[in-house]
Amino acid sequence: MSRCGNGYDNAPMESFWGSLKNELVHHRFATRREAQGAVQEYIEIVYTHQRRHSRLGYLAPAVFEPRYYEQAG
């Protein structure tokens, strides 16, 4: 994230935090460890491997990245 007042640089991170809050964080967790595990699982499994991103042509990042490097040659 960039400095305050530079909204365009912050847009991808703001989008991520918004997705995280809407899809996961508003749940109640019994312990801090449970919350940390849920956030880690969300990032590593859902956000990276399952969730489609409009900016990436509606592909998950784990699918987009190998295709990108394959085409870049």
Report pTM. Answer: 0.65
Q: Which residue has the higher pLDDT, 7 or 44?
A: 44
Residue 11 confidence (pLDDT)? 77
Q: Which amino acid is at 5?
A: G
Residues sharing a CB contact under 8 Å with residue 9, sequence separation 6 or more, in sequence order: 1, 2
Residue 1 clears pLDDT 60, i.e. is over it: no
- Report which DSSP code applies to 28: -
Residue 8 clears pLDDT 80, i.e. is over it: no
Residue 5 confidence (pLDDT)? 67
Residue 57 confidence (pLDDT)? 93
